[in-house]
Amino acid sequence: MSAGDDILLRVEGRVGHATLNRPRALNALSYDMAMALEKALDDWRDDPAVDMVLIDAEGDKAFCAGGDINALYSTGKTGNLDYARTFWADEYRLNAKIAAFPKPYVALMDGIVMGGGVGVSAHGSHRIVTERTMLAMPECGIGLIPDVGGTWLLARAPSRIGEYLGLTGTRIGAADAIHAGFADTFVPSDRLEALKARLVTTADASSIAAFAAEPPEGELALIENGIGAAFSSPSVPDIAGALGKMDAEWAGKAVKAIDRGSPISLACTLEMVRAAREDASVAESLKREYRFVSRCMEDGDFIEGVRAAIIDKDRNPAFAGARKEMPAERVAQMLAPPPGGDIEIPV
């Protein structure tokens, strides 16, 4: 298979320009798209005629709504676990390459940004959001965890915002994406074309500042103290209990979101975000994330979570109650080195 027209890769001036081109699928990232982007990045990294990388997407609804979950589900459902493991391992190496890319990597995060979309944007050096940006890491709802280096990013958010976003999958806009450390700069969407033209002409990332503005007010800074009080609790049930005692609309929504999540995904996400605070590089977090995803079809809730959310769309997955205490041994088993050892990710 080939990525074909699903991702457009070209050099314009001194800029390597990648455009995700599946707008009808909300620019969902397929395996072939990820591998085509990786090859282009390798070429552009070593090409003295390329000074910058720019990644954007077709359409104004989504930058990238995540990885191609349907392909992962359909192969996993037939018992083919190798496809998903290869997808995740190779995708994670791409994420690490983006984080370590030696040239400016400018991501225009316009529209929906979730899962795999976070992985190909939020590790870049220059991350731009608009008034249309809607970012989330909702993986616990489908039996996954905030992967693609998501635990690394969440661990670096202020206070306990990382635990909050990771466990609840809360959708955030531009100001909150910047506050949480997933983005750097707000540019109104009606300035994007002019910004792209300037970048292609100059290959100068400092020119972004001329197009920047103040984003509409967010919410995270206003509720940060409450988030810190609740999400510093030692376990998922304790966090839910603390939220239940708060007389605040956001806390009530957070409890409901946690109740909808996969218990093993929630428990592992909490463990992984906290462990990632001690990681020296995103590569360490990605290796830990792979430990979970390599097991999530056989020993986790991924197949059932995707069935309920995406395939049958009944929104009624057969998860155990989300407030159930997950034994530490079960979490440790999901996060132990996989058979064959950890994946290799260059630092």
Tell me which residues are annotated as active site. 67, 116, 139, 147
Residue type for 20, please? Answer: L
Q: Hey, is 136 helix, strand or coil?
A: strand
Retrieve residue 122's tokens: 């939020």
- Positive or negative: CA dihedral 55, 59, 64, 66: negative
Tokens 């950890």 — which residue?
342
Q: How many CA atoms lie within 13 A of 333 on its CB side?
A: 11
Q: Hey, is 212 helix, strand or coil?
A: coil
Helix 161-168, helix 249-260: angle, nearest 10: 50
Alpha helices in the chain (DSSP H): 31-45, 69-77, 81-99, 116-119, 150-155, 161-168, 174-179, 192-202, 220-231, 236-244, 249-260, 263-276, 282-293, 302-306, 328-334
Q: Hey, is 55 helix, strand or coil?
A: strand
The whole-angstrom separation of Cα 300 and Cα 318 is 12
* Pair 33, 3: CB distance under 8 Å: yes
For 85-129, the DSSP string reads HHHHHHHHHHHHHHHT-SS-EEEEE-SEEETHHHHTTTTSSEEEE
Q: Tell me how crowded residue 216 is: count the other CB atoms within 10 A of its CB.
A: 10
